[in-house]
Amino acid sequence: MCGHVVAAAPKETVKQLPPLRTERVTLTSVDTPGGKATALFGFWFKGKGKSEKKATIIALHGCGGLYSSVNKEKIEFTPRHIAMARALTDAGYNVLFPDSFTPRGRRSICQESLQQREASSANRRLDVQVALRWLATQDDVDYARVGMVGWSHGATTILSALNLAQTDVAVRKVQPKAAVAFYPTCTAFSKNRTPYKPAAPMLILMGENDDWTPPEACESLEKKMQDSDTPITLRLYPDTYHDFDAPGMPMHVRMDIPGVGKPGAGVTSGGNADARAEAYREMLKFLKDKLD
């Protein structure tokens, strides 16, 4: 089914651009530990350019899901996801956005505890496997040049989906060639006794002041990976918080996110246009270096 994805109106003044054309596609994943099939779907954006086969990005949404909360009756991509789809397709990449939440009966899981989350990072790691298999069937995808981009919970899923210490990851015949993770939670990977083994080079982009997914664990992981053949590069932006790349998002404190931040203090979230612009530049340079 072809159609238009429309972004919710951002609060900051931005140039009005024509809507992006997308196609809704069907994916089928398997949840753990029950092993039940989950009928997923995703949104497919074709990259600009004349080449028949293009490098392709799998984009993984965060705990808030793909869609705007402004009008919950409609499926409207958030300004963040529209901005990313536009940046990547303008650069010539195909982009696949799997929806890991709606088919599991969720719009967002930010307010759920880790124990409540059916759409865990482990389940979403299997969603990535399904997305990779789907890409392998597409005539306009250069399967040797697949990368990943993700935010928060989706970025943490990237760390899991590229961890060769996981058997289901290690046995994949084809691995992504690059990954960009916006403000993931690195704690489990930096503290695990089993060394983290990424299948591809990774760029992590975070705010120095992030109190939702504090950067210290990612700093520790980067340090541990310094001598690795597959490096992790961490870039921190000053005076910047969680969700810094979300266009038009005002700075605000959230008290409804369980298990994170200092008790009674909540966590800070808000866009930073300068940090977003710099992050996009670094992301596109990294992807070009690794996928071209």
pLDDT digits (tens, 9 = 90+) for 83-139: 999 999 999 999 999 999 988 888 888 887 665 566 677 778 889 999 999 999 999
Mean pLDDT of 69-86: 85
What are 258's two structure tokens? 């369980």
- Which of the residue ranges 67-81, 182-196, 211-225 would you say has the lowest mean pLDDT? 67-81
Residue 174 scores a pLDDT above 70? yes
Of 67-81, 130-144, 146-160, 221-235, minimum mean pLDDT range: 67-81
Between 11-15, 38-42, 121-125, the lowest mean confidence (pLDDT) is in 11-15
pLDDT of residue 118: 62
Residue 17's pLDDT is what?
A: 67
pLDDT at 151 over 70: yes
- The pTM of this model reads 0.90
| CATH number given to 2-6+18-291 | 3.40.50.1820
**Residue 2: per-residue pLDDT:** 44
What is the pLDDT at residue 111?
81
Over the chain, what is the mean pLDDT? 88
Question: pLDDT value at position 8?
Answer: 38
> Is residue 39 very low, low, confident or very high in pLDDT (cuts 50, 70, 90)?
confident
Q: pLDDT-based confidence at 4, cuts 50/70/90?
A: very low
CB 165 within 8 A of CB 197: yes
Do residues 257 and 110 touch, judged by C-beta distance below 8 A? Answer: yes
pLDDT at 34: 58
Mean pLDDT confidence for 32-58: 86
| % of residues, the chain, pLDDT over 70 | 87
Contact between 38 and 30 under an 8 Å Cβ cutoff? The reply is: yes
**Res 9 pLDDT > 50:** no
Which residue has tokens 């991509």? 77
Q: What would the DSSP string read from start to end of the chain?
A: -EEEE-PPPPSS-----PPEEEEEEEEEEE-TTT--EEEEEEEEEPPSSS-SSEEEEEEE--TT-SB-SS-TTS--B-HHHHHHHHHHHHTT-EEEEEESSGGGT-S--TTS-TTT-SS-HHHHHHHHHHHHHHHTT-TTEEEEEEEEEEETHHHHHHHHHTBTTSHHHHT-SS--SEEEEES---HHHHH-SSPP-BSS-EEEEEETT-SSS-THHHHHHHHHTTTSSS-EEEEEETT--BTTTSTTPPPEEES--TT-SBTTTBEEE---HHHHHHHHHHHHHHHHHHH-
